[in-house]
Amino acid sequence: MIKMNRTPFTISGYAEEEYFCDRKKETDTLIRLIKERHNIALVSPRGMGKTCLIRHLFAQRTVKSKYNTFLVDVHETESLCDMAVCFAKALIHESSVKGKKFLGDMLSSVNSIRSCVYFDYEGNPNLREDLSDRIEAESILDEIFSFFGSAGKRCIVAIDGFRRFPSYGSEVDKTVKYLRALTERNANVNFIYSCSGKYTEGQMSSGEYKSFFEGMTIFGLSPIPKESYCSFATEMFTLNGDRKLEYDAAVKVYDMMEGITANMQRLLNYLYLRTLPDHTCSLDDVEDGLKEYVNMTSYPYEEIYGLLPPVQRKVFSAIASEGRATNVTGSEFLSRYGLSASSVSSALRGLLSDDIISRENDAYMVSDRFLRFWYVYAKNDGLV
């Protein structure tokens, strides 16, 4: 095979299998669960690789041959109507892959979108932007699901970006109820809800969305095992035959980024770029590269930090200094950072709701690990 002379660490979207690390066990488990007709909530902290895992699953030959697959990206949605448009887009996308017959069958079932479909200059179907002004969300979704029911093969519908629902405002309850009803009454469809951010497994088994997740199989996506990712990283460095990554340097990347795939890929992408052909990226290069990368991309971090109200900033700084902060209302933490329990609690509410700080089990951490490193470097350099 001819190798592309490009950075082998993808940082957006799903690349080909060759650039995809591991996830064999997870892919096999998902295939088995789907075969047994489970509806799945795929959960992890941000950037662990949920969307790519779904794409990887959909790219498997056995999945392609047995199922119609739809990835519905609801990240940018703010209402059930927006969501219906996303479903329509996913259908159109699948039609452009599957061809004219599928498109024809689909349009004769899903009448409401027929008048909004046009063909671009390459002959691919597209949806007109003003679709959302013309449709009634529930009736279009009903038509879409009745098409799923009659489409021959079973369907896998992945709803990606479930974390957006709290921003649906007054439509949250309506949307959640509607989706729950869809999930229950469509026996021909397997749902995968990809959830991150505020949805932790704990929040799913209690709290306001408990009834929504009841009956679903909660699949927690863990970091790729260290050995597997580090072998992948060293192998990727040599893909174009001219650079090397020390194994210990790969381990350092893994540890610093706490196994979060998106962050490891971002850092390695940069480390690859700054390693000259025929050179080796060493342990020291990882430190230098991270600092360089954080300095280069510092603008949004300065802005986020600069806009924090004083007490939130103090609590943010304390958590960033710790890395993973536990017992944040305990006397040791409070006296170390000159805080009071009530100020920590109120500041945390804002920081968590803005996703600047995340909580995993009993520990708090800066959600974007690069923001955390920016803070640590800026503090060491006396800039904050």
Ligand X SMILES: Nc1ncnc2c1ncn2[C@@H]1O[C@H](COP(=O)(O)OP(=O)(O)OP(=O)(O)O)[C@@H](O)[C@H]1O
The residue ranges that bind ligand X (CB under 6 A) are: 10-13, 20-21, 23, 44, 46-52, 196, 261-262, 265
Alpha-carbon distance of 263 to 265, in angstroms, equals 5
SS3 breakdown of the chain: % helix, strand, coil, rounded to 5? 55, 15, 30
Least distance in angstroms from the C-beta of 261 to ligand X: 4
- In the Cβ-directed half-sphere of 366, how many Cα atoms lie within 13 Å? 25
Choose among 35, 24, 109, 25: nearest CA to 65: 35
Which one, 192 or 344, has the nearer CB to ligand X? Answer: 192
12 binds, among Mg ion, ligand X, none (CB under 5 to 8 A by kind): ligand X
Per-residue x/- mask for Mg ion, residues 32 to 61, rule CB under 5 A?
------------------xx----------
Q: Quick check: 265 binds Mg ion (CB under 5 A)?
A: no
Least distance in angstroms from the C-beta of 158 to ligand X: 11
- Copy the structure tokens of residue 212: 């929504």
Least distance in angstroms from the C-beta of 52 to ligand X: 4
Neighbours of 31 (CB within 10 A): 16
Which one, 51 or 175, has the nearer CB to Mg ion? Answer: 51
Which one, 138 or 258, has the nearer CB to ligand X? Answer: 258
335 binds, among ligand X, Mg ion, none (CB under 5 to 8 A by kind): none
Q: For residue 315, what are the contacts with CB-CB under 8 A and spacing of at least 6?
A: 328, 337, 339, 343, 344, 347, 348, 351, 357
User: Position 176: which residue type?
Assistant: V
Q: For residue 199, what are the contacts with CB-CB under 8 A and spacing of at least 6?
A: 41, 43, 162, 163, 209
Q: Quick check: 77 binds Mg ion (CB under 5 A)?
A: no
Least distance in angstroms from the C-beta of 58 to ligand X: 13
User: Position 293: which residue type?
Assistant: Y
Which one, 196 or 200, has the nearer CB to ligand X? Answer: 196
Which one, 48 or 281, has the nearer CB to Mg ion? Answer: 48
Choose among 248, 243, 201: nearest CA to 220: 201
Alpha-carbon distance of 282 to 284, in angstroms, equals 5
261 binds, among ligand X, Mg ion, none (CB under 5 to 8 A by kind): ligand X
21 binds, among ligand X, Mg ion, none (CB under 5 to 8 A by kind): ligand X
Least distance in angstroms from the C-beta of 254 to ligand X: 13
Which one, 154 or 369, has the nearer CB to ligand X? Answer: 369
User: Position 282: which residue type?
Assistant: S
Which one, 13 or 309, has the nearer CB to ligand X? Answer: 13
Residues that bind Mg ion (CB under 5 A): 50-51
